[in-house]
Amino acid sequence: MLRVMVYQNPVSRPPATRTVQVPGGHVLFVMADNTWINPYNLSLLECLSSQGTVYELDGNSVIKVPFQFPVGDGCTDDEKTGHLMLSLKAFNYFKQESRIYDLLTKHPHPNVVASFQCSKPDCLILERVRPLEDAWNDSTEHLRGIWILELLDVVSFLEDLDYLHGDITIFNMGIDHENRLKIFDFGSAVHVKDQDFGHQILEDQFDLATCIFFLASGIDPFAEAQSFADLNRTRQDLQQCRLPFPAAAKKYQAVIEACWSQKQPKSFKQLRQAVADISGVLVPSISGTGLSQVANPSLGSLLERLTREEGWMNEEEYRIAWSKAGFKVLPFV
């Protein structure tokens, strides 16, 4: 089932693009549109993501915000409804990610992008990491093996917290200044009590296998896809284990293909142990507690310069305004 989704991440994406995601976590960039607004005037900051949701504060941190289209924005009723739906999704993604980071302050993990303490509303201040695709080119086979185990470790950790990431892709992970792999973008996280949890396990494990394949080989199986038909064709090839394996990924082939075929799902802990037995790589111990929320004294002056966007509405105000404009508004999530 196709779903429209806003990609929000602290690495690089083309600005002013809407993304459409298909099962398997890959996206097409379509329908450039820059009429949305953020809670703050961020025009002087460098935008690092699609839909203008992540901006650089300094070399170590980014600010992540929700977005909304102005009430009634659009040339047709269909376009207006689409803008309303995207804006409500953005509110939901942001609320979910904020909830996850609240949880992570109590249960930190060193392979999660850290959040910085911030008193301002409607924003997250996050650690900036290097895009995985860039870092991969400078890495060694041994380091890539460590990254694979770090990825498996953090998704196993989320499993212990009764959550799935919900959007595991190479674009939602990066490498910090200590060459440690870290994941981010928790807006699509799924809880064990959510209705679609059982289905999402299979999707997350399929996407995890694609990430392991990339980490081992540097090859994204979906990189050449130019259409939904291409994406679906590639996905079918992976599910039916028709993709040739380069030498660098051969030792992970059994685990990867088991996840792609979705015939014998295992827990993430079982997958981690299977890969650890295969790889023979030891992940170095990490000093400290790996806090997912930390203090950054230098951020104070940067945040003081931020001014509220005059037209921004909180979610309740936004819903009421669209209802008064004659549009059906979905209930709170």
Longest dimension (CA), the chain: 62
pLDDT score of 22 more than 60: no
Residue corresponding to tokens 């509303």: 121
Q: What is the CATH number of the domain that holds 44?
A: 1.10.510.10
Task: Look at residue 319 and tell me if it is in a domain.
Answer: no
Identify the pLDDT of residue 7: 35
Task: Look at residue 296 and tell me if it is in a domain.
Answer: no
**Positive or negative, the Cα torsion across 281, 285, 291, 296?**
negative
Task: Look at residue 312 and tell me if it is in a domain.
Answer: no
Task: Look at residue 311 and tell me if it is in a domain.
Answer: no
How many domains would you assign to the chain?
1
- Are the CB atoms for 64 and 124 separated by under 8 Å? yes
Task: Look at residue 300 and tell me if it is in a domain.
Answer: no
Confidence of residue 265 (pLDDT cuts 50, 70, 90): confident
pLDDT digits (tens, 9 = 90+) for 290-324: 555 555 667 778 888 899 999 999 999 999 999 99
Stated as kind and residue range, the H or E segment containing 213 is: helix 197-217
Q: pTM here?
A: 0.86
Task: Look at residue 97 and tell me if it is in a domain.
Answer: yes
Residue corresponding to tokens 């039916």: 240
Taking the C-alpha atoms of residue 27 and residue 6, their distance in angstroms, rounded to an integer, is 10
Task: Look at residue 318 and tell me if it is in a domain.
Answer: no
Identify the pLDDT of residue 261: 94
pLDDT digits (tens, 9 = 90+) for 30-78: 434 568 899 999 988 999 875 569 999 998 999 999 999 999 999 999 9
pLDDT digits (tens, 9 = 90+) for 125-184: 999 999 999 999 999 999 999 999 999 999 999 999 999 999 999 999 999 999 999 999
| Helical axes 315-324 vs 77-106, angle rounded to 10° | 160
pLDDT digits (tens, 9 = 90+) for 98-130: 999 999 999 999 999 999 988 899 999 999 999
Taking the C-alpha atoms of residue 171 and residue 26, their distance in angstroms, rounded to an integer, is 9
Count other C-beta atoms under 10 Å from residue 122's C-beta: 17
Count other C-beta atoms under 10 Å from residue 331's C-beta: 5
Residue 130 φ/ψ, nearest 5 degrees: -80, 135
Structure tokens, 259 = 């996840």
Residue-number span of the structural domain to which 198 is assigned: 3-279
Q: How far is CA 240 from CA 225, 246, 248, 292, in A?
A: 18, 17, 21, 38
Task: Look at residue 103 and tell me if it is in a domain.
Answer: yes
Residue 249 CA from chain centroid, whole number: 24
The residue type at 222 = F
